[in-house]
Amino acid sequence: MTKLGVDERWDLIDKISKKTVTFGEYKHTLKDAIGELTVKPLTGIPIAIAVLYGFWSFFSSFAGFFTDGFFVKLFDEHWLLWLQEIFPGKESWLYYIFVGDPSATNCFEAFGVLTSGFFVAIGVVLPAIVAFYLILTLLEDSGYLPRLAVLIDTILHRIGLHGYAIVPTILSLGCNVPAVAATRILETRKERFIMMTILAIFIPCGAQLGIMKEVIPDTMGFVIFYLFMGYLIFGFILNKIIPGKTPEMLIDVPPYQMPTAQNVGRKLWMRTSSFFKVALPFVLLGCVIVNVLYLTGFIAWMGDILSPLFIGWFGVPSETAGPLIAAFLRKDLAVAQLSAIEMTKYQMISAVVLVSIYFPCVATFAMMLREGWKELLGSIAVLAVVVTLYGGLLHLIWILLGVA
């Protein structure tokens, strides 16, 4: 092989570029102009508001179609009745663990592994997760997500993050586990810590959103708003407290393009199946453990111990101790459990907020541990402060409004 000299190499480069590169004046296309509109704050913010509306509207209609339209009927009128009929030993602890309350008329309130466990996982979480990941994939593949990152960069810098933090933020609306892994795209330890902490505390996962839609459909907007405000306020505070830098963002924004069905299908399958591999065992195991804790009297005992804090500070009934313990295993399951406790509308909002900001579920916990035990301990310390302050603040708001 002969070595080329400097001039010969330049000649070769010239020849290749003449054959492969087209020279001329670049004309702005409609796609370019629309791309510019989506990153400029004045025009980009209304577009982002519309995209979020679309996201939420599709999520509600799609999940509602499957859950309310078919799964509720399938599980309550067929599956539950069949299990109650064929499962032996109505008074036994095995019946209580697997089928749940023998007098239950719907799967939400039964709390058995085979009733609530399956209903939550398949009837509620599956449609919610599919809807969420479908929209996420479309936004990603069309090229909107990087533009959203550019648009939101200024706001996220105020909380010690940069625009790309929108990726773990949106991902965690599906599941906190991949979102914690996605914090690796952030450059500094400070950014990763802030992101990991506020997403584990303030962002409800798709499963939780699906259950919230079932349990508190009228007040869900308020809960989400309250959590979103917490995301910004505590992000801002953490940015001031934690030492370290937040570098500027440099990203290559791809042109807008039509997502292909094959790519969307493949991504949707990959994300949904991996979510279920993580979530399903925890939902079912969660049901078993929570039922055992109820049977042994542990949850009643915890409720008694924590009741001054729950009643006095948070303004919720002491029975919410059970769902809070269950929240460590699966938050969606915990929100479902709240629906069976007698509470006022405002107590229910407080309880759902508490379950959301309370300790991340065990799968997220394991993921955070993989990122570093120091970060995990730091996040837990922040979480303890946030739960106490933010949970108490909500109670104070109800007192000031005269509804508590």
Closest approach, Cβ 30 to another protein, in A, equals: 6
Q: Determine if 40 is a binding residue for another protein (CB under 8 A).
A: no
Q: Determine if 258 is a binding residue for another protein (CB under 8 A).
A: no
Q: Coil, helix or strand for 111?
A: strand
Taking the least distance from each CB to another protein, the nearer of 215 and 290 is 215
- State phi, psi for 161 to the nearest 5 degrees: -125, 175
Choose, by CB under 8 A, the member of 50, 229, 251, 381 that binds another protein.
50
Residue 248 CB coordination number (10 Å): 10
Instruction: Please give the Cα distance from 269 to 392 (Å, whole number).
Output: 41
Q: Determine if 341 is a binding residue for another protein (CB under 8 A).
A: no
| Residue 116 neighbours by CB under 8 Å, 6+ apart | 100, 107, 108, 109, 110, 287, 333, 336
Choose, by CB under 8 A, the member of 41, 221, 265, 312 that binds another protein.
221
Binders of another protein among residues 269 to 308 (CB under 8 A) are none
Considering only the stretches 69-77, 170-178, 250-258, 379-387, report the one whose residues sit in contact with another protein under the rule CB under 8 A: 69-77
Q: Determine if 10 is a binding residue for another protein (CB under 8 A).
A: no
Q: Kindly report the CA angle at 29 between 26 and 35, in degrees rounded to 5?
A: 115
Helical segments of 88-219, H only: 93-98, 107-110, 118, 126-142, 144-157, 166-172, 176-182, 189-202, 206-215
The answer to whether 367 and 238 have CB atoms below 8 angstroms apart is no
Choose, by CB under 8 A, the member of 70, 228, 269, 373 that binds another protein.
70
Binders of another protein among residues 385 to 404 (CB under 8 A) are none
Binders of another protein among residues 141 to 180 (CB under 8 A) are none
CA 325 to chain centre: 19
Q: Determine if 28 is a binding residue for another protein (CB under 8 A).
A: yes
Taking the least distance from each CB to another protein, the nearer of 58 and 276 is 58
Q: Determine if 345 is a binding residue for another protein (CB under 8 A).
A: no
Q: Determine if 3 is a binding residue for another protein (CB under 8 A).
A: no
Alpha carbon separation from 16 to 11, 21, 27, 59 (Å, rounded): 9, 8, 24, 50
Taking the least distance from each CB to another protein, the nearer of 81 and 94 is 81
Alpha carbon separation from 59 to 18, 129, 210, 213 (Å, rounded): 50, 9, 9, 10
Q: Determine if 47 is a binding residue for another protein (CB under 8 A).
A: yes
Closest approach, Cβ 376 to another protein, in A, equals: 37
Closest approach, Cβ 158 to another protein, in A, equals: 23
Choose, by CB under 8 A, the member of 17, 61, 263, 274 that binds another protein.
61
- Binding footprint of another protein on the chain (CB under 8 A): 28-30, 32-34, 36-37, 43, 46-47, 49-51, 53-54, 56-58, 60-62, 64-65, 68-70, 73, 221
